[in-house]
Chains A and B, each alone.
Chain A
């Protein structure tokens, strides 16, 4: 028995969530008295792979064949499940992000394994296997019992601390190839931002709502984000109006994010908006209306006009950086 964790990379670098995952898998393996096997797909350097050992992976398998460069759900599911079988993995852990959501369901069927998506903790009991997950877009939790021998879990972001430890893992290259006929997804074009901080991976997010009044007023939001090393986001009406790109829309129907700090400027805090951001560690709200629901979700708030408050904040951050 082993715990298998799929650690995704982005342009050859592991995401923070991958380290969260390995830390989680390490604790899970302790509960079951077993080892952690991490699987990396796509080209990643030895040096980067070795990092996984610092978070508790005992063995790292790297499948670097060029054919794995693009995400073909079927090809990936076949690969991960064959590794799971070879390693005798009874627990398979992925991140609850786009890729995890794409692959976990297929793995569940292929391995006849119950799936619990968006888990937030270690299991509260190993037999019966019971674990807590988010439901109602974070407005509640459910305890789920898994009845199958093998289990697939996706871990909600920010629900587990990254724990560094001294560990050295053995790295193994997997030579598997895919026969051309198995690949049914063909990528014709990729349109990808480079250099900018990814909204889904950002530690700090500065977000604007309809209270910003006009797309011309976004200067201070961008400036503050830049100073804080943050990504920018927005509420749905703002992206619907075309004030900001769709990729920035957070909320139930947009991106679900969990940064350390979410700064909501001119956002009322509708339940659908909060569904996408309520897992943030800290929320700051800036709003003219002291009764806006965002203040119920926020840790810190300023009641005031964004166009007056933002320049002050920018000034204060600049001063902080100097001192």
Chain B
């Protein structure tokens, strides 16, 4: 069985967010590009499952919708341990376009498989591709997935709910939309992995024709916060007083 990991490429999460002069575009100068954090955890879990002999997972494929500039990051995914990579060669405008491109490619997938997508891209926070992809493929999705185990061919899914966790069974194929917990720490590439990554296949596929549903017309930064009011450490009472009478929240 194959696991397909949808891999988004995003600015490093510590990037200072800046926009170009007229606030129309995200300023990419000096940005370090990385695997979207949840996708990195999904990839880690997929590789762990492949390594585990107790199930039939034997292949991990990463797939990215993006221009050639995403390739160094895709190579990193191969170095971490993905077996193959696919890049659909278009810079997408919204989550729908990403999902559409992915579905056009995946609808021809013959091997038994399921798909991992992350809960959201850390840049545009769409929280959409996984659910859209499932609907486009006509399969079910499970979101808020914080754990996934497989025994033989049967996945057992842990889904976070308000105040707890549910354990689920779902029919294959499906899309697992994963979040924290799916893996504890992202795996980092080892030297051997980096060497091997060079020899692995990165298939470049032309995009299918589609229109985005939405478009970003501009950006703004939040209003700067007024400076923090510092209260003497001996005077906790004053803090309670301020919360009660100034902020009026107690």
Contacts and interface: CB of A to CB of B under 8 A. Distances in A.
A216 to B, nearest CB: 22
A102 B225 contact: no
Contacts of B231: 300-302
A296 B228 contact: yes
Contacts of A199: 163
Given A142-B219, A299-B247, A313 B164 contact: no
A302 B230 contact: yes
A309 B234 CA distance: 8
Interface stretch (A24-32, A36-44, A170-178, A253-261): A253-261
A109 B132 contact: yes
Nearest to A288: B233
Given A106-B134, A114-B214, A187-B166, A143 B219 contact: yes
Interface stretch (A58-66, A70-78, A158-166): A70-78
A180 interface: no
B98 to A, nearest CB: 11
B96 A117 contact: no
A85 interface: no
Interface stretch (B63-71, B138-146, B190-198, B199-207): B138-146
Given A114-B214, A136-B122, A284-B243, A191 B236 contact: no
Interface in A238-293: 240, 246-247, 249, 252-254, 260-261, 271-272, 275, 281-282, 284-285, 290
A296 B135 CA distance: 42
B99 interface: yes
Given A105-B132, A144-B216, A299 B225 contact: yes
B164 A73 contact: no
Contacts of B229: 299-301
B236 A315 contact: yes
Contacts of A275: 13
A86 interface: no
B187 to A, nearest CB: 16
A98 to B, nearest CB: 5
A252 B216 contact: no
Contacts of A115: 95-96, 126, 128, 132, 213-214
Interface stretch (B43-51, B54-62, B74-82, B176-184): B176-184
Contacts of A322: none
A193 to B, nearest CB: 4
A34 interface: no
B240 A320 contact: yes
A198 B162 contact: yes
A113 B99 CA distance: 14
Contact of B122 (A104, A109, A132, A252): A252
Contacts of B96: 108-109, 114-115
Contacts of B110: none
Contacts of A133: 125
A243 B19 CA distance: 39
B228 A102 contact: no
Contacts of A106: 131-132, 134-135, 141
B170 interface: yes
Given A142-B124, A284-B243, A312 B236 contact: yes
B108 interface: no
Contacts of A138: 222
The residue in A199, A281, A309 that gathers the most chain B C-beta atoms within 10 A of its C-beta is A309
Given A136-B125, A139-B222, A105 B140 contact: no
Given A135-B125, A192-B165, 17 more contacts: A101-B143, A102-B144, A102-B177, A104-B128, A106-B132, A109-B131, A114-B96, A115-B126, A142-B124, A144-B217, A186-B170, A190-B161, A199-B163, A252-B13, A300-B228, A302-B239, A319-B237
Interface of A: 10, 70-74, 77, 96, 98, 101-106, 108-110, 112-118, 130, 132-148, 154, 184-194, 196, 198-201, 204, 228, 240, 246-247, 249, 252-254, 260-261, 271-272, 275, 281-282, 284-285, 290, 295-305, 308-309, 312-313, 315-317, 319-320
11 contacts: A105-B132, A109-B96, A109-B135, A114-B213, A141-B222, A148-B213, A185-B169, A186-B168, A300-B230, A301-B230, A302-B233
Top 4 closest pairs, chain A to chain B, by CB: A105-B131, A304-B233, A192-B164, A114-B213
